Structure 1
């Protein structure tokens, strides 16, 4: 039995990783803020398990412990005994805003808290085998079509999320020689819902943010919307269950491991933007096209999508040779089709429509608060 320390267990990927870890017999210690009794973590993990198609009984849940910490003061709030028996750390928590006005909170969480946790694990978690840091494949920045599993030198980034994630990667690699704890940078591409159930947390990021724009058009009573995006740009989408499966497979793999590793966790087929979004506008009863705005609603959608447009319009070719080599057969290819994307979008839209039904005057989501398409 492994003892895994996980941050971000109330989030989409973190809750799924926690649920699957418990189901596979591991102990999980979740670090959380503003959750003294652990209710939010347990609720998120239970929801993720059901989204994956299984339930967690009393025995698996007894192996989940929640510890409240202040991520701005981990040395003062993370008790040394919590780390004593930890065998692996998965750092999933992140500040996902990419507004440059929020660069300081992004650096505080994504860089400083990550670095503090790594240092504490290296010094106090004597049984810890490795520190896994969830980053994003989009730290490659723009202008790089072929993206390899290696450090990025001076990438051209455009928002606080990209910048702070790149800084965190660089900081961990810089401090590894001093601290010695093996570190793995785990870079997913655009994470979508479960391959079979379509489950996601309902957060509007990545592909879901583009679907949110279509929902906004529906709420404005448009019958046809025009998205100012490139219909033929190619997206790399990966299902959350694939990300979790590969993440946990790394815990069981010892061959060909290095003290400093960088892995891309990606879909193994690209899908055109139009094909990925078609299930969303069909589900909403909309007609959609691509091109410059034609009327007021289109102009509103253009403003809404502005911060995500550079990502949606760019095709990256991510390579995952190193992860494939380390995992072997456990890697498992991740195909991508409009049907798979459609299950995720249908689930997401159903979740959002339920929210709107409870709060019919809820304003449109703020574009500046969402994460880049590569966000975990």
Structure 2
């Protein structure tokens, strides 16, 4: 697909947006490489949609720049920017058929011969033969494809996606995640996708930026962010983590010794964001394994004893909560692979992990564990 203007990376430089005394986006600087699928991930109120709206021209920055290649588009009207947006509400015209909905942007620009481009776009989104139907005759997923085709037919340099799958059911949402990635790969346009859904971001995006309070907490490839989070916020927003309040003694050879709740552990140096002072010792629930006796723990694994307080079967896995002797609950996900046994609630277990799968994060002095909330009733844990 040919662009109408010289292409280039999308760059946000010192971008800030204030609403009165509230700062929605705070001095944001990042680069979205041309042709990439980029996701802005964060909770409601983190500034991700405001950022998207400034790129689209629907909000004017308080300060900073939006650059496309070498061109500053910060003060251009939305219709003058080589950018299109697909919103969660598809906003299709109910009185127009699908072909005319897709052709709308071209018609507005005075282009008469649109049939060939419309057919190409409908084929791209796998809606061949749907051109004469009305929006009301289509499912939610099909309407989402029409909105996508309507945006793509304008040949934008950047396509902005504002929670476009939020109105779909789970199965259809997952199908559309795969479809959106296929389409982005085929057309080669820069996609910037705003979402609060971690799975959605990780499934589709080449690069994910996790936003919090108007700033980027961490940016990188999905696997990098998940396996090597930079902050406690990222560790618990992108998936779940068991974060134990610990003290690090500084590197000792290839490892960093840490002490947590009177027990000694260690983490490889290359898995430590900080190696001295207050830290969080982190382990993902799927990397935490359960044994019913200490002699079942593999050599080299580190472990803590506990009691199972909850077991939830969710099909692909069983999710356990393990109450430790100091009162925190750890999450452990056991894959439903047909190997291993189920552990009933009340079972005494040993939660263990390979230290190569743990990580250390910064912790403010005085902060406690960041795990599952404590139970109201105490549970006796064997020593």
Task: Give the TM-score normalised by structure 2.
Answer: 0.31
Structure ranking higher on relative contact order (CA contacts 8 Å, 6+ apart): 1
* Higher fraction of helix: 1
TM-score, normalization by structure 1: 0.31
Tell me which protein shows more strand as a share of its residues.
2
